[in-house]
């Protein structure tokens, strides 16, 4: 049986359509038609569901500390509440044993019918200790081919992204990772402008959280930030909570990078065990008084972009849906609303607040 969702304004990912309805059958969008529009039941806005490519935990469970299906289910519930239908559960730099347990958790979640999980995002430990941020320095190292081969083999079909510092990894290792369909993201890197540009020219198409834990833009050494600004294709995530990056810096980056910039939440949760401890202070997380994580949802990212950065509604939506979908290039996750695709959209009120999420 078909379900119909009417919208005063529907954003497909590329255009707005007024007074139309989305028809869903068996989890697929089968029509977008004005003929089924119901004004009395119409939502003010229907837009593509969001995609979060970096989130560490939710509801007092970090994946690196609790690598199990319950933790991933809690992350999914958190994402849904913030308008994201797809997510990459993420672990910061950890031992091989913890990486394997996180892979086990992702595999168990997906094989048991768990929804929304794109795959595991492994952030570190193959990063530059000089730009470690809050990561555990004890496990940070340059990888060997053998180590990478073993992790990839164990995580076959479960690992979707690896953040690494390209300057501490052999180019053959980066090629090896990518040959298995895993997205390599440059992050926690101290690469200079020339080195970063070379990697973006050759085989790395994306970077992790612009400005944070990467070589800064200076007038005599523009660093990785400068390399991203000047590159014609390389994309980057950014954390738009006003704490990780000043909103004026986000505005500058957006003007320069345009559709190459997209949002992640980088969200953590309150924890008191393990290496990564976080306490909620206002609308951010701290560890011993130091900024340690975000309390964002992707819907809050959209709201912050509009209110504090001056990005218009359409472009803010793309930064949380269409653009991260471009990074991952998965057929089942387009960041748009199109006939024949899996139904994944959100219904918003006039204040851009979530009323309903549809995630097949």
Q: Catalytic residues, which ones?
A: 266
Sequence-distant (≥ 6) Cβ neighbours of residue 212 within 8 angstroms: 133, 239, 244, 245
Q: How far apart are CA 3 and CA 144, in angstroms?
A: 52
In the chain, alpha helices (H): 69-81, 96-111, 145-154, 171-179, 193-202, 223-230, 247-257, 298-304, 313-320, 322-328
Strand partners, 261: 236
Query: What are the tokens at 46?
Result: 């229907």
Tell the residue number behind the tokens 């470690």, with chain if given: 132
Q: Give Cβ neighbours of residue 8 (< 8 Å, ≥ 6 apart).
A: 18, 19, 42, 43, 44, 45
Question: For the stretch 146-159, what's the b/e string if a residue is b when 16 or more beta carbons lie within 10 angstroms of its beta carbon?
Answer: eebeebbeebeebb
First to last CA, the chain: 14
Cα gap 334→328, rounded to integer Å: 9
């Amino acid at each position: 049986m078909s379900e119909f969702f009417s919208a005063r304004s529907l954003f497909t990912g590329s255009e707005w359509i007024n007074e139309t309805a989305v028809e869903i059958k068996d989890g697929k969008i089968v029509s977008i038609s004005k003929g089924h529009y119901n004004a009395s039941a119409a939502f003010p806005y229907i837009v593509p569901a969001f995609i979060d490519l970096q989130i560490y935990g939710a509801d007092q469970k970090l994946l690196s500390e609790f690598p199990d299906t319950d933790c991933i289910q809690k992350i999914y519930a958190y994402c849904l509440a913030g308008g994201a239908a797809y997510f990459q559960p993420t672990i910061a730099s950890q031992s091989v044993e913890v990486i394997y347990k996180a892979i086990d958790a992702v595999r168990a979640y997906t094989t048991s019918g768990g929804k929304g999980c794109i795959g595991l995002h492994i952030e570190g430990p193959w990063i530059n200790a000089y730009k470690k941020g809050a990561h555990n320095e004890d496990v940070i190292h340059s990888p060997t081919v053998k180590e990478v081969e073993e992790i990839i083999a164990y995580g076959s079909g479960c690992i979707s992204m690896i953040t690494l510092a390209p300057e501490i990894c052999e180019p053959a290792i980066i090629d090896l990772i990518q040959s298995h369909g895993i997205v390599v993201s440059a992050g926690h890197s101290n690469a200079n402008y020339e080195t970063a540009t070379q990697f973006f020219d050759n085989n790395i198409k994306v970077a992790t959280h612009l400005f944070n834990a990467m070589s800064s833009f200076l007038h005599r050494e523009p660093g990785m930030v400068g390399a991203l600004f000047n590159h014609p294709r390389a994309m980057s995530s950014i954390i738009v909570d006003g704490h990780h990056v000043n909103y004026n810096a986000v505005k500058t980056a957006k003007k320069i990078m345009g559709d190459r910039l997209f949002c992640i939440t980088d969200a953590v949760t309150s924890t008191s065990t393990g290496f990564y401890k976080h306490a909620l202070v206002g609308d951010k997380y701290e560890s011993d008084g130091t900024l340690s994580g975000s309390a964002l949802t992707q819907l809050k990212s959209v709201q912050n972009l509009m209110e504090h950065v001056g990005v218009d509604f359409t472009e803010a939506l793309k930064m949380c849906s269409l653009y991260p979908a471009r990074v991952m290039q998965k057929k089942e996750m387009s960041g748009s609303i199109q006939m024949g695709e899996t139904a994944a959209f959100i219904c918003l009120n006039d204040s851009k607040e979530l009323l309903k999420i549809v995630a097949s």
